[in-house]
Amino acid sequence: MYYIITYFLVEMPRWKFAASGRVHSGTQKPTGLWCIFATAQGRQVSDNLLAFLDCLQNAGYNVMLINNGSLIGELTGKFLPYCHSVIERPRGGRDFGGYKWGTKALCDLERRNGQVTQVIYCNDSIFVRPSTLALLLSRLRQMSDDYIGITDTFDQSYHVQSWFFVASGALFHRPEFQQFWRSYVPLSYRRHCIKNGEVGISRYLSKHGIHPNPLYTQTMILDLIFEGTLAQAVDRLLLGLSPGDYRELTAAMQQIAFAQSPDGTAGSFLRRDILEQIGMSNTMNTANLILIRYTAFPFLKKDLVYRGDYLFSQIQDAIAEWVGEDAAYLTEIFAYFRSRGTLQRQYSPSAILARMGLL
């Protein structure tokens, strides 16, 4: 109720009053490739965020950086070299509020002098590994699918996870797609953004016959875990599972790991257990470290430790071997996880609500 009242009394009037936001213009690339990048920028700019923007720019994407609230002048100057435009929008609505604002801004721009062949929607809730992000962006440029996701999940309801997804120009221009964004109400309540934004857009598009192509599926993750011997699979699970998942699976893993089954039955039973664990949970929360350790997966969620899903030492162990340009961001990434801390074993009302995903 608080968020609904806040939206109608405070946030919605601000959105209507500041119809176009405050726009800082950069340079447009004639590629037809666009990125609507939702941020909630504080007083300091993350070097890893700039690396993220640099990768997008080098791949030919015109980045429209949509900030939730005002920016200090010097920060705008740091972002503009990597962006087509930096837009300060009224505060509220979280990342889907930024996506909604950016979609309208891109539509208005296209009517004047733009061309849209592909649009990335992403936000600043992730760290990136630049070397593998460049490979992913090159791959995306070659894809013609209307709706591309990085990971998908059946948590709550089937959907593509919204911290990074891609729409083709054809989908962007479809009336159904534009209608979703026009009708979306950008409340600042986190569960609203998930249910009506992240889950909502996948469900809405599916009803209109538009289905996603996820690049890292749960089946692929299972195949990755069980590539090789059973001992190697157990080792990957021990290194990559969150403490909660480990506690649920530890008895099965111990029993199967020491079982004698030359016919491979033990591995089949363990695969079945992992299939259920991944299938009933948030894919990124369960498999992020497995993906980033054993594939060219370029994303690391920032809240893995904060919400009590993982131990800091697991993050450290998973990315400590980065080299070259990637290694340059390790100090910042480790400092972020240390400073933000964890809600694990904190029992204040706000900590409990945050662990539940309500804040």
pLDDT exceeds cutoff 90 at 104: yes
Residue 25 burial class via C-beta count within 10 angstroms: exposed 0-12, middle 13-18, buried 19 and up: exposed
The identity of residue 122, as a single letter, is C
pLDDT at 273: 81
pLDDT at 241: 83
d(CA 290, CA 287): 5
Greater model confidence, 12 or 194 = 194
pLDDT at 340: 87
Residue 87 burial class via C-beta count within 10 angstroms: exposed 0-12, middle 13-18, buried 19 and up: buried
pLDDT at 325: 94
Q: What's the sign of the alpha-carbon dihedral 91, 92, 95, 99?
A: negative
Stretch among 51-60, 74-83, 281-290, 319-328 having the lowest mean pLDDT: 281-290
pLDDT exceeds cutoff 70 at 123: yes
- In this structure, how many other beta carbons lie within 10 angstroms of the beta carbon of residue 311? 15
Give whole-number Cα distances, 199 to 92, 206, 356, in Å.
Answer: 19, 11, 17
Residue 214 confidence class, pLDDT cut points 50, 70, 90: very high
Question: What value does the mean pLDDT take over residues 150-179?
Answer: 94
Query: How many Cα neighbours within 13 Å face the side chain of 271?
Result: 19
pLDDT exceeds cutoff 90 at 234: no
pLDDT at 17: 63
pLDDT exceeds cutoff 80 at 345: no
Residue 246 confidence class, pLDDT cut points 50, 70, 90: confident
d(CA 112, CA 139): 29
| Fold exhibited by the domain 2-216 | Spore Coat Polysaccharide Biosynthesis Protein SpsA; Chain A (3.90.550)
pLDDT exceeds cutoff 60 at 353: no
pLDDT at 24: 92
pLDDT (tens digit, 9 = 90+) per residue, 59-78?
Answer: 999 999 999 999 988 889 99
pLDDT exceeds cutoff 90 at 20: no
- Indicate the domain borders of the chain: 2-216, 218-355
pLDDT (tens digit, 9 = 90+) per residue, 145-158?
Answer: 999 999 999 877 89
Greater model confidence, 281 or 210 = 210
pLDDT (tens digit, 9 = 90+) per residue, 179-194?
Answer: 999 999 999 888 899 9
d(CA 160, CA 185): 20
pLDDT at 342: 72
Closest Cα partner for 31 from 171, 178, 169, 173? 169
Token digits of residue 268: 């089949």
Tokens 């054809």 -> residue: 170
pLDDT at 103: 97
Q: DSSP letter string over 24-71?
A: EE----TT-EEEEEEE---SS--HHHHHHHHHHHHTT-EEEEEEES--
| Beta carbons of 306 and 282 less than 8 angstroms apart | no
Residue 7 confidence class, pLDDT cut points 50, 70, 90: low
126-128 vs 22-25, strand pairing mode: unpaired
Closest Cα partner for 340 from 312, 300, 298? 312
pLDDT exceeds cutoff 60 at 359: no
d(CA 30, CA 117): 11
Token digits of residue 277: 């664990």
pLDDT at 350: 55
Query: Mean pLDDT of all residues in the chain?
Result: 88
pLDDT at 280: 79
Token digits of residue 330: 């390790």
Token digits of residue 225: 């875990």
